Chain A
């Protein structure tokens, strides 16, 4: 328990300076204009454009998360079935690209998806001609999934690794076939991993902004882009940018709360959580 001492500088210095104070600034800018309390920015939210962007971002984040589960779970499952050494090696391959800056990885996709790029050459080989891949919503979705997939695989993998194999043996002793075992035993036990994976993918993909600019050509601008644009380019942007940031924060808190609830319902939440 002595180790807790190491957390003090974080709690006493880091947290206030880099989390609490900036939050207070955002709240201040959202409700004060030149020192005067104002609801002007809140009222501006009546403009349907803002809600369109928010909905579009949330919908993109939900789809990205679903795709990450569909890809991430089988991968994590296979990894957990492998020999430890092979699994470690393979999971390094998943993590390796993350040592590189996310922007660079996204730029790489730009080259791959460009007209005449590798992907379109492969498609043409199969007789599919003239599809523009870059600067579409699909490209933004792909970029988001690619960037956040490791955050789905790793927590599920750690949960599955810690899974007590005797449960599976017990299930087959009692006559369950492979599929039944998977649905009734493995999946429920992997839930904490899935839940933490969802949190780690949904939240950042809701606030992502560079991806839609690079791969979407600003035709599919998201909430993150809107906030960036407000702060950087608009003459009166701090207020609007702050109120939109607050909305994003609320969305994040709501999804985290839902995830917490799901996890509690699951009974003891152990393992799987990376944070």
Chain B
């Protein structure tokens, strides 16, 4: 009896280690993708896997800073990543990105020339990145709780809404909008201006409910706050007729705001560049891009996809903001070493209260 058990156990272990070996063997067909949560239609991943026979290993996270740390790690395994503009600028400066072979991405012609041009500001020559999604930062407010039209960042500091203001848990965005409110550049390298913004955020303490991650969407839809800082794509969900809350309204304040781009990049450490480019090309396909943008609600830079979409999307100023909104928005730039001044200010705001 004992011997039988022993043999059985050995067999089980052997089988387990064999399956482990085969799992490793398949690695060459696996693409490792690092992306934000809720940022791709999962059906598209399946579709791509079926078309190509590749496997996609998909990891999500919640902040650009985290993405940067993951990509910097010496044993970075990722083949594709979707960081924002200023992070791409930093990654290029640190020589961490692979130059994209545009011959492998014929669908690149679908991307709107306007956005290629803006991308040019952080990726000179558009050598390392392909636009994926873009959007603005603004205020979502509940018309039941706020009886005047909101058009300024000052509303987030208004005593009337004490305890009802939800801020976004992101250093660049929170300090950025405060800088704009004070009339400064969001990419300032002036320590006094950052200190002023820090004090302004500390003074906001009793007015804001707190700093939140993705929970902000649910809280606004569930009437848990009057005003919130929200990305335009999340705002689409908030104001959605079916899933959202009809009392919510999105506005990009008159003082200006941040316009951001999340582009697709391939880390230099990736050994599967051609495969990764195949996936980029797939995502740039008009039909695929349409399905993707309609699923996640963020604006697509894909002109061909936009042409396929109906008016409820293209005429929606949140999804497809008019040029004058874009004109008053600026993109974030990499701050280089000055970032530590921002980090210190943010730490003070976040922990010293």
Q: Are A232 and B66 in contact (CB under 8 A)?
A: yes
Q: Are A219 and B63 in contact (CB under 8 A)?
A: no
Report how far A255 CA is from B204 CA in the complex, Å.
36
Report how far A266 CA is from B350 CA in the complex, Å.
43
Report how far A114 CA is from B209 CA in the complex, Å.
12
**The stretch of A158-166, A188-196, A233-241 that contacts the partner chain:** A233-241
Q: Are A49 and B224 in contact (CB under 8 A)?
A: no
Taken residue by residue from 205 to 229, chain A's Cβ proximity to chain B (1 for < 8 Å, 0 otherwise) reads as: 0000000001011110100011001
Q: Are A219 and B205 in contact (CB under 8 A)?
A: yes
* Residues in B lying within 8 Å of A, measured CB to CB: 63, 65-66, 68-69, 163, 169, 171, 205, 208-212, 215, 222-224, 339-340, 343, 347-348, 350-353
CB-based closest 8 A-B pairs: A217-B210, A233-B65, A218-B211, A219-B210, A49-B352, A135-B210, A218-B210, A53-B351
Distance (Å) between the CB of B178 and the closest chain A CB?
16
Asked if A263 is at the interface of the complex by the 8 Å CB criterion, the answer is no
Q: Which of A104-118 contact B (CB under 8 A)?
A: 114-116
Contacts of A180 in B (CB 8 A): none
Q: Are A232 and B69 in contact (CB under 8 A)?
A: yes
Distance (Å) between the CB of A67 and the closest chain B CB?
23
Closest to A236 in B: B340
Contacts of B171 in A (CB 8 A): 233
Contacts of A226 in B (CB 8 A): 351
Closest to A222 in B: B351
Q: List 7 A-B contacts (CB under 8 A).
A: A53-B351, A214-B215, A216-B210, A219-B205, A219-B209, A219-B211, A221-B351
Contacts of B205 in A (CB 8 A): 219
Contacts of A88 in B (CB 8 A): none
Report how far A227 CA is from B208 CA in the complex, Å.
23
Closest to B205 in A: A219
Q: Given A114-B222, A115-B223, does the pair A52, B169 have CB atoms closer than 8 Å?
A: no
Contacts of B351 in A (CB 8 A): 49, 52-53, 221, 225-226
Q: Are B350 and A221 in contact (CB under 8 A)?
A: yes
Q: Are B63 and A233 in contact (CB under 8 A)?
A: yes
Contacts of A49 in B (CB 8 A): 347-348, 351-352
Report how far A132 CA is from B207 CA in the complex, Å.
13
Q: Are A116 and B223 in contact (CB under 8 A)?
A: yes
Report how far A232 CA is from B339 CA in the complex, Å.
15
Contacts of A236 in B (CB 8 A): 340, 343
Asked if A68 is at the interface of the complex by the 8 Å CB criterion, the answer is no
Closest to B343 in A: A234
Distance (Å) between the CB of B93 and the closest chain A CB?
13
Report how far A116 CA is from B142 CA in the complex, Å.
16
Q: Are A218 and B224 in contact (CB under 8 A)?
A: no
Asked if A141 is at the interface of the complex by the 8 Å CB criterion, the answer is no
Contacts of B211 in A (CB 8 A): 217-219
| New A-B pairs, 5, CB < 8 Å, besides A114-B224, A217-B211, A217-B212 | A132-B209, A221-B351, A233-B343, A234-B65, A235-B339
Asked if A154 is at the interface of the complex by the 8 Å CB criterion, the answer is no
Please report the total number of A residues contacting B with Cβ < 8 Å: 23
Report how far A236 CA is from B223 CA in the complex, Å.
38
Q: Are B350 and A229 in contact (CB under 8 A)?
A: yes
Closest to A132 in B: B163
Q: Which of A231-257 contact B (CB under 8 A)?
A: 232-236
Closest to B65 in A: A233
Contacts of A232 in B (CB 8 A): 63, 65-66, 69
Report how far A115 CA is from B226 CA in the complex, Å.
12
Q: Are B223 and A233 in contact (CB under 8 A)?
A: no
Report how far A217 CA is from B169 CA in the complex, Å.
9
Most buried by B among A115, A116, A135, A233: A233
Closest to A134 in B: B224
Distance (Å) between the CB of A216 and the closest chain B CB?
7
Report how far A134 CA is from B340 CA in the complex, Å.
32
Contacts of A115 in B (CB 8 A): 223-224
Contacts of B352 in A (CB 8 A): 49, 52-53
Choose from A134, A216, A217, A233 the contact partner of B66 (Cβ within 8 Å).
Answer: A233
Taken residue by residue from 150 to 183, chain A's Cβ proximity to chain B (1 for < 8 Å, 0 otherwise) reads as: 0000000000000000000000000000000000
Contacts of A135 in B (CB 8 A): 209-210
Report how far A233 CA is from B351 CA in the complex, Å.
14
Contacts of B348 in A (CB 8 A): 49
Distance (Å) between the CB of B329 and the closest chain A CB?
24
Distance (Å) between the CB of B150 and the closest chain A CB?
20
Closest to B337 in A: A235
Contacts of A229 in B (CB 8 A): 347, 350
Report how far A234 CA is from B345 CA in the complex, Å.
12
Q: Given A49-B347, A235-B343, A236-B340, does the pair A219, B353 have CB atoms closer than 8 Å?
A: yes
Closest to A53 in B: B351
Report how far A214 CA is from B65 CA in the complex, Å.
20
Distance (Å) between the CB of A236 and the closest chain B CB?
7
Distance (Å) between the CB of B220 and the closest chain A CB?
12
Distance (Å) between the CB of A261 and the closest chain B CB?
33
Taken residue by residue from 8 to 50, chain A's Cβ proximity to chain B (1 for < 8 Å, 0 otherwise) reads as: 0000000000000000000000000000000000000000010
Report how far A229 CA is from B62 CA in the complex, Å.
12
Most buried by A among B69, B212, B224, B351: B351
Q: Are B169 and A218 in contact (CB under 8 A)?
A: yes
Report how far A52 CA is from B339 CA in the complex, Å.
24
Contacts of B340 in A (CB 8 A): 235-236
Report how far A53 CA is from B169 CA in the complex, Å.
18
